[in-house]
Amino acid sequence: MQTYPKKRIEIIAEAPLLRRLTARLDEAGVGGWSVVPILAGHGHGGDWSAEGQIGTATQMVMLISIVDAARLDAVLDAVFGLVSGQIGFVTVADVAVVRPERF
C-alpha cells in the first residue's frame, strides 16, 4: 500500500498546561491531536504517580499530533515557547500514513 511521510509529534507535558497547549496546536494549524494518559513517571524532579491524586498539578499527560513536515517548524515554535518554561518535552518521529491529505 502506498504510504506518505509525516511527522509524529509527541509532547509530554504537565496536566495543568493541557488546555493552553492544545490551543497553541490549534493556532499553529495542526489538523488534530490526541491526549494519552500517563500513570506515573520519573525525571529530574523525582517520581510521581497519578494514583490516588485528586488534583492534576503533579500529573503529566502525553499529546500526540501527526503533522505534515512542512508545518513541523511552526508547530514546534508554537509549542516550545510554552513547554520550555515548564516541566515536559517534545519529541518528533518519522511516520508513514496512507491518507496524506488528512494531515
Partner 1 sequence: MLELALQNLLSPMVLFFVLGVAAALARSDLSVPEQVAKLLALYLLMAIGFRGGVEVAHQGIDATMITTIAAGIGLSFAMPFLAYLILRATTRLDPVNAAAVAAHYGSISAVTFVAVTGMLGQLGIAWDGYMVAVAAAMETPAIVAALLIARGRSDGDAPGESRSTLLREVALNGSIVILLGAFAIGVATGDRGATMLKPFLVDAFAGVLCLFLLDMGLVAGRGLAQGRRHLSAPVAAFAIVMPLIGGTLAGALAFAIGLSVGSTAVLITLAASASYIAVPAAMRLALPQANPAIALTLSLGVTFPFNLLVGIPLYIALAGRIAS
Ligand X SMILES: Nc1ncnc2c1ncn2[C@@H]1O[C@H](COP(=O)(O)O)[C@@H](O)[C@H]1O
Beta carbon nearer to partner 1, 44 or 93: 44
The entry of ligand X, a copy of itself, partner 1, none near residue 82 (CB within 5 to 8 angstroms by kind) is partner 1
| Of the candidates 16, 13, 11, the residue with the CA atom closest to the CA atom of residue 57 | 16
| Of the candidates 89, 99, 95, 31, the residue with the CA atom closest to the CA atom of residue 60 | 89
The entry of partner 1, ligand X, a copy of itself, none near residue 70 (CB within 5 to 8 angstroms by kind) is none
The entry of a copy of itself, ligand X, partner 1, none near residue 5 (CB within 5 to 8 angstroms by kind) is none
Q: In the numeric block, which cell numbers belong to residue 61?
A: 499527560
55 binds ligand X (CB under 6 A): no
